[in-house]
Amino acid sequence: MKKNHGLDKALEIRNQHQKDALSPYEQGANFRPSKTTRTKRKLTIKQKALRVLIGVVALFAIYGVFFIVSYNAGTKVASQDPNYTKIKDPDDWHGVQSANGAENILLIGNDRRSEDQGRSDAIMILQLNGPDKKPKLISIMRDSYVTIPNKGTWKINAAYAFGGAELLRETIADCFGIQCRYYAIVDFTGFEKVVDVLFPKGLELDAEKAIDLDGVQLPAGKQIVDGHQLLQYARFRHDAESDFGRVRRQQQVINLIMTSLKKPGTAFTGPKAIGAVSSYVTTDIPNTFIWSNAVQMLFKGNLTSIDKMQIPIEGSWSFYDSPNDGSALAVNNEKNTEAAKSFLNGGN
């Protein structure tokens, strides 16, 4: 009897399709999908993966556009505020990148309650992109008695009065070996507005002690505060700890602000608020630097605190009655230089 090869081939294909329709359990231990089925499955997986990738890229692109537009809108806030005059940019600034590759930011709190720029009320160095990628904050006690280039020995906060941000930068580099690439200067009014813009419903502060300053009274413990109240908490020094307690509270406030940027919804309200913040702060930080670090802070899940250090460190200072600048802190520069280097390079 003559074989019908066409019919046999059709029956073979039908049987294979029926076999592929069965589960691997039903087909037994020797189950192996046909080449055609395997190819289709591979294509399906690749197509799904490609669609997911395209979707993710599209979402990031849309958010990137939203971030930039919102940020730029926020930068106009201060210019539209009739009650605020922004601090002028320094005439000369020669920022230097740190030896560890970081671009440290010199934070200056300016008590601008008179026409004179005055001494710096707060001096901090913020490192965001150091070797261990953790935010680090160094506070320098304003009564530290140091040598200011071409000015002699004074409290370090006099450097800002003598020569602005650049002379303060040079003094910090000479005394403690810390290089700063960028500056950010804010006065009391600007700080208050920054906090109120970022957190219109206030911030939950866990006050370490009760304070009474310039009409603001705060009890110890947890409470919701606005920008003005938070400023007075950071400024308070009328107790036995004086500036030591104030520096610790200043660091607490900076830590509170940075970690609170992780609150739900900040990813959508944050870009405009961050733009508004930049409009109240005098700075040379590039927008690209601000955007990249802001996005990391908005989305990074483990930012629960920042590492903090104070200069002078314990055991490296003594009280000193200076001949030209009142009661001051005599500081061992070598010990503090080594401590700062270790801290910024990954130590705690």
Q: Once rounded to an integer, what is the mean pLDDT over residues 295-320?
A: 81
Question: How far apart are the C-alpha atoms of 108 and 172, rounded to whole Å?
Answer: 12
Q: How many domains does the chain have?
A: 1
Confidence at residue 277, expressed as pLDDT on a 0 to 100 scale = 74
Cβ contact 193:81 at 8 Å? yes
Cβ contact 193:199 at 8 Å? no
Q: Containing domain of residue 278, as a range? A: 75-344
CATH no. for residue 296?
A: 3.40.630.190
DSSP code of residue 157: T
Q: Is residue 152 part of a domain?
A: yes
Q: Is residue 243 part of a domain?
A: yes
Which is nearest to 175 in space by CA: 312, 321, 327, 315? 312
Q: Once rounded to an integer, what is the mean pLDDT over residues 113-132?
A: 81
Which of 79-88, 113-122, 231-240 is least confident?
113-122
pLDDT band at 260 (very low <50, low <70, confident <90, very high): confident
Q: Once rounded to an integer, what is the mean pLDDT over residues 304-323?
A: 93
Q: Is residue 55 part of a domain?
A: no
Q: Is residue 63 part of a domain?
A: no
Q: Is residue 7 part of a domain?
A: no
Instruction: State the Cα torsion 232-237-239-244 to the nearest 10°.
Output: 130
pLDDT band at 298 (very low <50, low <70, confident <90, very high): low
pLDDT band at 307 (very low <50, low <70, confident <90, very high): very high
Question: How far apart are the C-alpha atoms of 12 and 17, rounded to whole Å?
Answer: 9
DSSP code of residue 86: P
Output 52 or 26, whichever has higher pLDDT: 52
Q: Once rounded to an integer, what is the mean pLDDT over residues 70-97?
A: 79
Q: Is residue 45 part of a domain?
A: no
Output 326 or 31, whichever has higher pLDDT: 326
Q: Is residue 247 part of a domain?
A: yes
Q: Is residue 15 part of a domain?
A: no
Cβ contact 82:284 at 8 Å? no
Which is nearest to 99 in space by CA: 177, 182, 184, 183? 177
Question: How far apart are the C-alpha atoms of 345 and 348, rounded to whole Å?
Answer: 9
Confidence at residue 136, expressed as pLDDT on a 0 to 100 scale = 93
Which is nearest to 89 in space by CA: 69, 68, 110? 110
Q: Once rounded to an integer, what is the mean pLDDT over residues 202-210?
A: 95
Residue type present at position 111: D
Average pLDDT of the chain, as a whole number: 82
Joined together, the tokens standing for residue 228 give 């003005």
Cβ contact 146:154 at 8 Å? yes
Task: Give how far Cα 334 sits from Cα of 64, 179, 342, Å.
Answer: 45, 16, 13
Long-range contacts, 4-13 (Cβ 8 Å, 24+): none
**Alpha-carbon dihedral sign for residues 139, 142, 147, 150:** positive
Q: Helix axis angle, 266-280 relative to 35-74, nearest 10°? A: 30
Strands 307-311 and 136-140: parallel
pLDDT > 70: percent of the chain: 75
The set of residues, in sequence order, having a beta carbon less than 8 Å from that of 296 and lying 6+ positions away, is none
| Most confident of the following: 66-80, 105-119, 196-210, 254-268 | 196-210
